[in-house]
Amino acid sequence: MNFDPVTLAIPFYFFLIGLELLADKIQHQKSYRLHDALTNIGCGASQQIVGVFLKVISVGIFEVIRYNFAIFDIPVNWLSFIIVFILADFSYYWAHRMSHEINLFWQAGHVVHHQSEDYNYSVALRQSWFQTFFTSPFYWYIALLGFDTTQFLLAYSLNTVYQFWIHTEKIGKLGFLEWIMNTPSHHRVHHGRNPEYIDKKSCRRFYCLG
């Protein structure tokens, strides 16, 4: 697929990092430390390089399941995209939750994302090389239902892009949106290491991540 929201959003990522640095200067704060930010960005860059090969494998498995075992032949239209977007988001939640609750998934994958010493937009780029191995199976049922692979990839990529902007301390609570969306406020709790935040639940929609 030529249209990849994750790749196209890279300039936007660095634009937001620049805005956050500017806000630091105006507010006389320091959300970034050079060594930590460079490590985060380095993790993201290397993950994208390795991810090219892993994506071929994971997308290939998805397409094999859809082509050979799909229960339905779901047409590609705006309604099916809305449905597959919701399913991709729901699957992301469970893949993320299990990445915290299953020790293998945590130690071999997701722990990297939580090892930054700071909390800023560069942390969103800090991803494990091999996370795809553990999260891909959570999406296979979407292929089994018969949703188009390209349509799923677009929904999955948009979900991935969304996760970036919530990694910041500069945005406060967002009113009623806190009840229906994953917000910066929720995600700060999820990443928090302060004693008062440990084991607290970060909730959105009908999902809670403890």
* Rounded Cα–Cα distance for residues 184 and 172 (Å): 7
Query: What pLDDT band is residue 54 in, cutting at 50, 70 and 90?
Result: confident
Burial grade of 53 (CB within 10 A; 0-12, 13-18, 19 or more)? exposed
181: left (phi > 0), else alpha (psi -120 to 50), else beta?
beta
Q: pTM of the full predicted structure?
A: 0.85
DSSP 79-134: HHHHHHHHHHHHHHHHHHHHHHHSHHHHHHTGGGGG--SS-SGGGGG---TTHHHH
pLDDT digits (tens, 9 = 90+) for 152-176: 999 999 999 999 999 999 999 999 9
Structural domain spans, the chain:
5-164, 171-210
Predicted pLDDT of residue 203 = 47
Contacts of 159 (CB under 8 A, 6+ apart): 85, 88, 89, 92
Cα–Cα distances in Å, from 83 out to 13, 58, 77, 209? 27, 21, 10, 23
pLDDT digits (tens, 9 = 90+) for 22-44: 999 999 999 999 999 999 999 99
The tokens for 22 are 């500017």
Mean pLDDT of 132-154: 95
Of how many residues is the chain composed? 210
Mean pLDDT over each residue of the chain, to the nearest integer: 88
Q: In sequence order, what E strands does the chain have?
A: 202-204, 207-209
Query: What pLDDT band is residue 205 in, cutting at 50, 70 and 90?
Result: very low
pLDDT digits (tens, 9 = 90+) for 185-204: 988 888 876 665 555 555 44
Predicted pLDDT of residue 48 = 85
Burial 165-188 (b: 16+ CB within 10 A, else e): bbbbbeeeeeeeeeeeebbbbbbb
Residue with tokens 């490590």: 39
